[in-house]
Amino acid sequence: MNEIYISNDLQRAKEELLSMYPNAIIFEDNELKLPMVNQIKDVSYKTHQSQQVIIIKALNFRNESQNALLKLLEDTPTNVKFIILTTSKYALLDTIKSRMSLHYLNYPQPSINIDLNPQRLTTKDIYDTLKKDLSKEELKAFITQLFKQISNPTSRVLDDFELAIQLVDLNADKAALLSLCLLCIRNANK
């Protein structure tokens, strides 16, 4: 059966899947677009004597690409297994999710000490935090811990934090991401 893997660390999840399926063919990009779906179709319809695993790794999935992929999933070629790897199940259409089994590959994130009081967050606190030199994984952990400090987050706040985590994976500017998150907390607690 075709599978979806949701992970908080796409690189580690990809490595784990490749260790399980060493001969897998991987298609990866920040966004799944129609040309990539066409390449996936071409590869999947080649005759395979043994099982062939195709891993599709992306952060975002365009609707038209998903609809094209859906046709392939509905009539999966013999000896082909598809695995979609992404950071959020909400990136996928319900029609895709209904045709695949869903799994989670979450990894421990580094612990970051946050000495911020969200109830009394000042501009100086934000500035001092922006000066920190955090790795990608530390930044994701920091953003996650920041989010946990918000009491009763709105759906807008949830969306902003999910976007921030995705932008970390896309190598967005760290200062801009931290600013977004810290200002979000400051505004949420007013």
Q: Which domains does the chain have, with CATH numbers?
A: 3-105 (3.40.50.300), 118-188 (no CATH)
Q: Contact 57/28 with Cβ under 8 angstroms?
A: yes
Give the amino acid at 103.
H
Strands (E), 16-122: 25-28, 31-32, 52-57, 60-61, 80-86, 101-105
What is the Cα 13 distance to its own chain's centre?
A: 11
The four Cα atoms 14, 6, 74, 69 give a dihedral, to 10 degrees, of: -70
**d(Cα 170, Cα 83) in Å, to the nearest integer?**
21
114: pLDDT strictly greater than 70: no
The pLDDT tens digits for 50-96 are 889 999 999 889 999 999 999 999 988 889 999 999 988 888 999 99
**d(Cα 115, Cα 44) in Å, to the nearest integer?**
51
**d(Cα 176, Cα 164) in Å, to the nearest integer?**
9
**d(Cα 70, Cα 65) in Å, to the nearest integer?**
8
User: Residue 104's pLDDT band (boundaries 50, 70, 90)?
Assistant: very high
Residue with tokens 């009394």: 120
* Token reading at 110: 């580094």
27: pLDDT strictly greater than 80: yes
The pLDDT tens digits for 122-146 are 778 777 777 777 777 778 877 877 7
Mean pLDDT of the 1-7 span: 94
**d(Cα 55, Cα 105) in Å, to the nearest integer?**
15
At 35 the pLDDT is 96
